[in-house]
Structure 1
Amino acid sequence: MIFLIILSFLLMQRLAELYIARKNERWMLEKGAIIYGQEHYPYMILLHMSFFLFLIGEVFVSKQEVSRFWPILLVIFILLQFARYWVIFTLGKCWNTKIIVLPNGPLIGEGPFRYVKHPNYLIVSLELLVVPLLFEAYITTILFFFLNQWMLSIRIRIEEKALQQNLVINK
């Protein structure tokens, strides 16, 4: 039951975030923003969709139970959700699932960005560990943690270059 609740929450959350991202993308493009990394974006979407499919498959096929550490993992999951929205609210209309940069815009250094350079990527990485661990889906945990790190190694490099080329960075 808790699996279906968390899975439903995550799926609805991701759909809402895609809606917000599209709305923000239109606004940013109207302001002259540039999109980067379109080559890897479909693979990133595929990675995240596959995560849900593997998680569902592993939990149902192996009939895994909730972890005995579920209270701790659930608290971490909830804290990660607060952190996720902290990032989204800090970036406001500049938050997106794509790499979209407004030329000559400021580099955001407030909120969670004061403490971590790419907080959203850290949050997603931790979610990809915590959610499957909550349901003892160890194959999904290991596989998608490493696939996500590989994807982030590509994405962060592209994003850093785009930010350096376009933003006013106060050094």
Structure 2
Amino acid sequence: MTLAALILALVTVQRLGELILSRYNTAKLLARGAIEIAPGHYPLIVATHAAWLIALWAWGRDQDVNFVALSVFILLQVFRLWVLATLGPRWTTRIIVLPDAPMVTSGPYRYLSHPNYAIVVAEIAVLPLALHLYLLALVFTVLNALVLSIRIRAETRALATVRERRP
């Protein structure tokens, strides 16, 4: 197994684990009265991320590794864990709003409205760069930007609605 294949295997396991965690958290939140907002775009997000991983496997599994870019990707995972830890049981890959819960304003949310999306934007570009797949980095950065433009608008509207209902 090449180093690139090992990296891709670890990222694939990580993403699958996150989907399991997300599904668990989503079920718990919905049981507490949360509602899902704008679920129609979710399959597009899943398809984009799945296509990114498939493309990385197809063209990157035997590539040499750029250790500078890989180091940046590893640092991004630290920030990803910070987001997960900050949101705890409220972290999910869907837009789930728990109407009576306070907004999260700690951790990375002190600095950015959507820190997870900033991390994902960087990851989508940096991992292909770590495998010398420059065109793949460009293509999926553009695709991800299009999907995130839909996602962030929907999430911003959902959060604004929650804020308006609060006393």
Report if the CA contact (8 A) 1:24-1:96 is conserved: yes
Report if the CA contact (8 A) 2:26-2:96 is conserved: yes
TM-score calculated relative to the size of structure 1: 0.91
1:157 equivalenced with 2:114 (yes/no)? no
Quick one: which of 135, 138, 144 aligns to 1:148?
144
Residue 25 (structure 1) shift: 0.6
Give, as a single letter, the amino acid of the residue that structure 1 aligns with 2:137.
T
3-state SS of paired residue (1:84): helix
Residue 104 (structure 1) shift: 2.7
Give the 3 Å change call, closer, same or farther, for CA 162–72 of structure 1 in structure 2.
same
TM-score calculated relative to the size of structure 2: 0.93
Give the 3 Å change call, closer, same or farther, for CA 168–105 of structure 1 in structure 2.
farther
For 1:93 and 1:10, how far apart are their aligned partners in 2? 22
Partner of 2:45: 44
3-state SS of paired residue (1:39): helix
Seq. identity, % = 41
Which stretch of structure 1 is more off in the superposition, 50-59 or 100-109? Answer: 50-59
Partner of 1:88: 84
Report if the CA contact (8 A) 2:5-2:60 is conserved: no
Give, as a single letter, the amino acid of the residue that structure 1 aligns with 2:56.
L
After superposition, the C-alpha distances for 1:1-27 in whole angstroms (9 at most, x for unaligned) are 121111011111011111111111111
Give, as a single letter, the amino acid of the residue that structure 2 aligns with 1:65.
D
For 2:145 and 2:57, how far apart are their aligned partners in 1? 21
| Structure 2, unaligned runs of 5 or more | none
For 2:164 and 2:27, how far apart are their aligned partners in 1? 22
1:109 equivalenced with 2:105 (yes/no)? yes
Matched positions, count: 165
What is the aligned-residue RMSD (CA, Å)? 1.6
